[in-house]
Amino acid sequence: MEAVDECAKLRGGARLQIGMKRVKKKRWNERTRRIRNTRTLPTDPVIEAYKKDIDRTLLRQSLKLSVTERFEELMELQRFAEALRNAPTVPEND
């Protein structure tokens, strides 16, 4: 009976070890992924100067949309731009 208990303990220990390994691996993957994502691009003073004038509210708005919605918006914008380009001048007395 004791031998059976010992075996069960060993099996449990092995399972625990495997579980710990998995957790460690998962944590490691998570860490490397985070480092990869935060790795910064080399800064360029010209681009940094341009970046100051970027309207981030538009970007935040766009990030809330799905990819398809972004494309639909782009097509709508294209239509609008074309309509503006082709907009005829209306005489003042009209």
Binding residues vs other proteins (CB under 8 A): 37-38, 41, 44, 46-48, 50-51, 53-56, 58-68, 70-71, 74-75, 77-79, 81-83, 86
Which CB, 7 or 81, lies closer to other proteins? 81
Two structure tokens written together for 12: 């449990």
Which CB, 28 or 80, lies closer to other proteins? 80
Measure CA of the first residue to CA of the last residue in the chain; give whole Å. Answer: 104
Which CB, 32 or 62, lies closer to other proteins? 62
What per-residue string of b and e applies to 13-40 under the rule 16 or more CB within 10 Å gives b?
eeeeeeeeeeeeeeeeeeeeeeeeeeee
Tell me how far, at minimum, the Cβ of 32 lies from other proteins, in Å: 16
